[in-house]
Amino acid sequence: MKTRIFLPLAGAALLALTGCHTSMNTIENAQKEGQRQMISDSRVITDSSLAKKVSFVGINQSMTPGGFLKVQIELLNRKHSLQRFSYQFEWFDANGMQINNIVSPTVPDQIEGGESKFISSVAPTTACKDFRVKFIED
């Protein structure tokens, strides 16, 4: 009788525990044709919890045909649950002055457990030489 009650309860508890867990599997071509131009980065981590869920893998950049700097950041969720976050790009000129950009949104985004994803942005002017991206947990 006890087992009859215990088993459904244990099953429900297991479901409740694993219900929020998601993890992503991926497959890709092994011999890459494209070469990413990776750049060294500087990180300031004030939220270590977010840094595990939205960890930075690396940054690569390129120039568009029109001479705009394009930046791509690879993120990886090292946890097994979906994480919501927001990010914002800031751009700076050769003198380190921030370029005022009317369309610089705080972009809401999400990353599944175990997922690797890219976020990218194009500089608003050709004068932009440097950038900074802010991340915050939602």
Partner 1 sequence: MKKTVLLSLLAAAIPFVGTGCRTPAHYIQTGGRESLVNVNQINIQDFIEAANTATSDLLASGALDKVANPPAVLAISRIVNNTGQQIDTDLLIKKIRVAVLNSGKAQVTTTMGLGGTAEDPMAKGLQQEAEFKSDQKTTRTPDFTLSGKIIQTTAKDGNTSQSTYSFQLSLTDAKTGLAVWENEKEITKQGGRPSVGF
Query: Please, which residues have CB within 8 angstroms of residue 44's CB and are 6 or more apart in sequence?
Result: none
Q: Which is nearer to partner 1, 10 or 122 (CB)?
A: 122
Q: Does 102 bind partner 1 (CB under 8 A)?
A: yes
Can residue 110 be called a binding residue for partner 1 (CB under 8 A)? no
The tokens for 33 are: 């044709």
- Do you know the residue count of the chain? 138
Closer residue to partner 1 (CB): 77 or 135? 135
**Would you count residue 64 as binding partner 1 (CB under 8 A)?**
yes
Q: What is the largest CA-CA distance in the chain?
A: 77
Q: Which residues pair with 85 in a beta bridge?
A: 109, 137
Taking CB under 8 A as the criterion, the residue among 39, 118, 126, 132 binding partner 1 is 126
| Residue selected from 21, 36, 70, 78 as contacting partner 1 according to rule CB under 8 A | 70
The minimum distance between CB 73 and partner 1, in angstroms, equals: 14
Helix/strand/coil for 16: helix
107 binds partner 1 (CB under 8 A): yes
